[in-house]
Amino acid sequence: MPATAFRPVEGAEPIPGYRLEALLGRGGFGEVWRASSPGGFHVALKFLVSGEAGAERELRTLRKLREGHLLCLFGVWRIAGFFVLAMELADRTLMDRLKQ
Protein backbone atom coordinates (compact mmCIF):
# COMPACT_ATOMS: atom_id res chain seq x y z
CA MET A 1 0.00 0.00 0.00
CA PRO A 2 1.50 3.38 -0.93
CA ALA A 3 2.50 5.79 1.85
CA THR A 4 -0.08 8.28 0.53
CA ALA A 5 -2.91 5.74 0.81
CA PHE A 6 -6.07 6.68 2.69
CA ARG A 7 -6.33 5.17 6.17
CA PRO A 8 -9.90 4.30 7.25
CA VAL A 9 -10.56 5.75 10.72
CA GLU A 10 -13.73 6.67 12.59
CA GLY A 11 -15.05 10.06 11.45
CA ALA A 12 -13.18 10.05 8.13
CA GLU A 13 -15.02 10.88 4.90
CA PRO A 14 -13.33 8.80 2.17
CA ILE A 15 -16.06 9.61 -0.36
CA PRO A 16 -17.89 12.96 -0.18
CA GLY A 17 -21.05 12.46 1.90
CA TYR A 18 -19.96 9.10 3.38
CA ARG A 19 -18.68 9.29 6.99
CA LEU A 20 -17.11 6.25 8.71
CA GLU A 21 -18.76 5.33 12.03
CA ALA A 22 -17.44 1.94 13.17
CA LEU A 23 -15.20 -0.88 11.96
CA LEU A 24 -17.32 -3.99 11.37
CA GLY A 25 -14.61 -6.44 10.36
CA ARG A 26 -11.32 -7.22 8.62
CA GLY A 27 -10.51 -9.85 6.04
CA GLY A 28 -7.82 -10.94 3.62
CA PHE A 29 -8.43 -8.11 1.14
CA GLY A 30 -9.46 -5.22 3.40
CA GLU A 31 -11.97 -3.89 5.93
CA VAL A 32 -15.71 -3.23 6.23
CA TRP A 33 -17.04 -0.14 8.02
CA ARG A 34 -20.51 1.06 8.96
CA ALA A 35 -20.92 4.54 7.49
CA SER A 36 -23.56 7.21 7.15
CA SER A 37 -24.33 8.16 3.57
CA PRO A 38 -25.98 11.16 1.91
CA GLY A 39 -29.48 11.48 3.32
CA GLY A 40 -28.46 9.87 6.63
CA PHE A 41 -28.83 6.24 5.52
CA HIS A 42 -26.44 3.66 6.96
CA VAL A 43 -24.37 1.60 4.54
CA ALA A 44 -21.41 -0.75 4.67
CA LEU A 45 -18.25 0.64 3.07
CA LYS A 46 -15.91 -2.12 2.03
CA PHE A 47 -12.26 -1.12 1.52
CA LEU A 48 -10.40 -3.49 -0.79
CA VAL A 49 -6.64 -2.94 -1.11
CA SER A 50 -6.26 -1.91 -4.76
CA GLY A 51 -2.93 -3.70 -5.24
CA GLU A 52 -4.34 -7.13 -4.33
CA ALA A 53 -5.18 -9.47 -7.22
CA GLY A 54 -8.13 -10.81 -5.20
CA ALA A 55 -9.66 -7.34 -4.98
CA GLU A 56 -9.66 -6.94 -8.77
CA ARG A 57 -11.17 -10.43 -9.14
CA GLU A 58 -13.89 -9.66 -6.58
CA LEU A 59 -14.87 -6.49 -8.44
CA ARG A 60 -15.12 -8.36 -11.76
CA THR A 61 -17.32 -10.98 -10.11
CA LEU A 62 -19.57 -8.41 -8.42
CA ARG A 63 -20.20 -6.66 -11.74
CA LYS A 64 -21.74 -9.86 -13.13
CA LEU A 65 -23.83 -10.96 -10.11
CA ARG A 66 -27.57 -10.38 -9.94
CA GLU A 67 -29.13 -12.38 -7.13
CA GLY A 68 -32.07 -11.39 -4.93
CA HIS A 69 -30.49 -12.81 -1.77
CA LEU A 70 -27.28 -10.75 -1.99
CA LEU A 71 -26.83 -7.28 -0.56
CA CYS A 72 -27.19 -4.38 -2.99
CA LEU A 73 -24.11 -2.61 -4.29
CA PHE A 74 -24.70 1.15 -4.50
CA GLY A 75 -21.38 2.34 -5.92
CA VAL A 76 -17.67 1.71 -6.39
CA TRP A 77 -14.88 4.29 -6.17
CA ARG A 78 -11.11 4.13 -6.40
CA ILE A 79 -9.19 6.23 -3.90
CA ALA A 80 -5.50 6.20 -2.95
CA GLY A 81 -4.72 2.59 -2.06
CA PHE A 82 -8.26 1.20 -2.16
CA PHE A 83 -11.36 0.32 -4.10
CA VAL A 84 -14.32 1.47 -1.94
CA LEU A 85 -17.65 -0.33 -2.31
CA ALA A 86 -20.85 1.14 -0.82
CA MET A 87 -23.18 -1.73 0.00
CA GLU A 88 -26.44 -2.34 1.78
CA LEU A 89 -25.81 -2.74 5.52
CA ALA A 90 -26.88 -6.16 6.82
CA ASP A 91 -28.71 -6.57 10.13
CA ARG A 92 -26.14 -9.14 11.32
CA THR A 93 -23.29 -11.31 10.09
CA LEU A 94 -23.79 -14.68 8.41
CA MET A 95 -22.22 -16.36 11.50
CA ASP A 96 -24.75 -14.62 13.76
CA ARG A 97 -27.55 -15.80 11.47
CA LEU A 98 -26.22 -19.37 11.49
CA LYS A 99 -26.07 -19.41 15.29
CA GLN A 100 -29.67 -18.18 15.44
pLDDT tens digits for range 65-80:
666 666 788 888 989 8
Q: Of 22-26, 33-37, 59-63, 74-78, which range is least confident? A: 59-63
Look up the pTM and report it.
Answer: 0.78
Give the pLDDT mean for 24-43.
Answer: 90
- Among the listed residues 42, 37, 32, the one whose alpha carbon sits nearest the alpha carbon of residue 18: 37
* Contact of 18 with 43, CB cutoff 8 Å: yes
Helical spans, DSSP H, in 1-100: 53-64, 94-99
Q: Of 30-34, 73-77, 94-98, which range is least confident? A: 94-98
Instruction: Return the CA Rg of the chain.
Output: 14
Q: How much is the pLDDT for 32? A: 93
Q: How much is the pLDDT for 20? A: 97
The superfamily (CATH) of domain 19-99 is: Phosphorylase Kinase; domain 1 (3.30.200.20)
- Among the listed residues 74, 77, 100, the one whose alpha carbon sits nearest the alpha carbon of residue 15: 77
Average pLDDT, the chain: 83
- Under the banding of pLDDT at 50, 70 and 90, the label for residue 23 is very high
* Contact of 36 with 42, CB cutoff 8 Å: yes
